[in-house]
Amino acid sequence: MFESWTDVTAAVGTAAVVAYLFYEITRRQKKLRDLINVLDDQDRQLTEELEELVRIGRLRPMARPM
């Protein structure tokens, strides 16, 4: 499969870089979710109910979504 140690080293290095990038992206996504997710359960439920009323047409949004 590999013809020299250089090929093995390159493959291991590439795998390590890809694994690190995946870890870093996941870590930053979690950090952003924790920062942005400020609604408690009651606020979240009310927001979901309002969005559902808008979706079925019982309420109209005050501004058009972009």
How do residues 14-55 score in pLDDT, each as one tens digit?
999 999 999 999 999 999 888 877 777 788 888 889 999 999
Q: Return all residues near 59 (Cβ < 8 A) that are at least 6 apart.
A: 50, 53
pLDDT of residue 1 exceeding 80, the answer is no
Question: In 20-48, which positions are buried (b, 16+ CB within 10 angstroms) versus exposed (e)?
Answer: eeeeeeeeeeeeeeeeeeeeeeeeeeeee
Q: What pLDDT score was predicted for residue 33? A: 83
Q: Which residue has the tokens 């949004």?
A: 61
Please, which residues have CB within 8 angstroms of residue 54's CB and are 6 or more apart in sequence? 60, 61
The pLDDT of residue 65 is 59
Asked whether the predicted pLDDT for residue 66 surpasses 70, the reply is no
Give the pLDDT of residue 49. Answer: 92
- Report residue 64's pLDDT band, with 50, 70 and 90 as the boundaries: low
